[in-house]
Amino acid sequence: MAAATQARASAGSVEVAAISVAGQQHGLVALDRDRRVLRPAKLWNDTESAPNATALTAGREAEWAEAVGSVPVASFTITKLCWLAEHEPANFERIATVLLPHDWLTFRLSRRLVTDRGDASGTGYWSPADDRWRPELLARELPARSGEAWAACLPTVARPTETVGPLRAAEELGLPRTAIVAPGTGDNMAAALGVGLRPGDVAVSIGTSGTVFATSDRSPADASGAVAGFADATGRFLPLVCILNATLVTEAFARLLAVDVGQLDDLALVAPADAGGVVLVPYLAGERTPNRPGATGSVSGLRTDVSREALARAAFNGVACGLLDGLDALARAGVATTGGRMILVGGGRRSAAYRRVVADLSGRPLTIPAPDELVALGACIQAAATLSGDDPFAVIDRWGVRRGTSVEPDLAVDRASIRSAYAAAAAPRPAGNDGK
């Protein structure tokens, strides 16, 4: 097994004492009665269940937000279960256990069906505020089973630093039998641990998709659907806004301009901050926030003197404006997003253009964390806290993960004008066939 070989090679002479899995949030891994996977996992960015999400929530947005802290969209597990019932009824009928991707890996390690509150909060049938499953919501939307029957399909929700069990796959992986397995969590929750996110801090994550999130002592219930009221991996909450289009946009524009991503950075950085009036609405993969799964991208402000540099800068500006709209949504939902650090995470933090554009358009100093692979680091922090019994923040302070470099904003940039032009271009158009 390739994974086992890789694990043995990675461990080397290191004595592994605890393991935690941080994986993609949301998704669906369906198991049968023998705990075998029924079909390939449906991942969070699979938008096939968008019509199911619309049918679930239309006119009931406030009800969903109150019940589970979020208004489910296509990424949420409940919508994927509805899709499965509609399109693959034979597989749906055979479901005995519903897991998330990281739960399945934890199961392979520990032989226990366990999740954590962070990942559970993105299913659409777990309440962060009440700290419990809501199987009656599954029964209401998928009445082929009762609430009791659905409850039997759901894993145990472990406490943030609860030991799930011993490493049952130790021999298979060539690791010590004395190692323990921690609960694991979703990728955003692990990244929050990896940067030591505290109240007042806000993290901007730029990967293929993008997120903006902050830690909070309360779970917001945003009926607009923009803010997902997730739980975090410490016992608190992690209000989050997600966009589908981030580095996939700049990678697409690099292809269009026949340059690599490093050269695209160079082009963008020599362009004027407003891209010469060129505005990109970057909905190349549809969009989650705002919820427009059928939308497409658009470019406006083109003139005869348009340059490659302006197009490159417009690509970065479009992604950054979408993320900063998410930051505004967090503030409107009552989440504290000022007074602390703004932290850039994800693969995009290595891009000089993303660093410059996010700092300039936010008008805030931007912290670039020193540690790499922040999701993996967050999983390690959870594993260490589980092993030692310490609070995760004691591990964070001991390991010094909050260090980093700072990028100062150029306050001469007219960020209000740039964001206003983006908002006008991104506004839904009446009657059309573009999916907006």
Query: What is the radius of gyration, based on Cα positions, of the chain?
Result: 22
Q: Where in the chain is the domain with CATH 3.30.420.40?
A: 15-162, 184-429
pLDDT bucket at 293, cuts 50 / 70 / 90:
confident
Q: What is the pLDDT of residues 308-354, one digit of tens each?
A: 999 999 999 999 999 999 999 999 999 999 999 999 999 999 999 99
| Span 203-210, average pLDDT | 95
For this structure, is 46 an active site residue?
Answer: no
pLDDT digits over 371-391, tens only?
Answer: 889 999 999 999 999 999 999
Confidence of residue 436 (pLDDT cuts 50, 70, 90): very low
As assigned by CATH, the class of the 184-429 domain is alpha beta
Q: How far apart are CA 428 and CA 421, in angstroms?
A: 14
Output the pLDDT for position 302.
97
Query: Which residue of the set 46, 187, 222, 360 is catalytic?
Result: 187
Max Cα-Cα span within the chain: 68
β-strand pairing of 342-345 with 366-369? parallel
List pLDDT tens digits, range 395-433: 999 999 988 999 999 999 999 999 999 999 999 876 554
> What is the CATH architecture assignment of 15-162?
2-Layer Sandwich (3.30)
Residue 189 reports pLDDT greater than 60: yes
Q: Tell me how far apart the alpha carbons of residues 142 and 44 are, in angstroms, rounded to a whole number.
A: 20
Tell me what the mean pLDDT of segment 96-114 comes to: 97
pLDDT value of position 13? 54
Start-to-end C-alpha separation, the chain: 45
Share of the chain above pLDDT 90, in %: 87
pLDDT at 313: 98
The pLDDT of residue 433 = 47
Whole-number Å distance between alpha carbons of 124 and 252 = 32
Q: Over 80: is that where the pLDDT of 10 sits?
A: no
How high is the mean pLDDT of the chain? 93
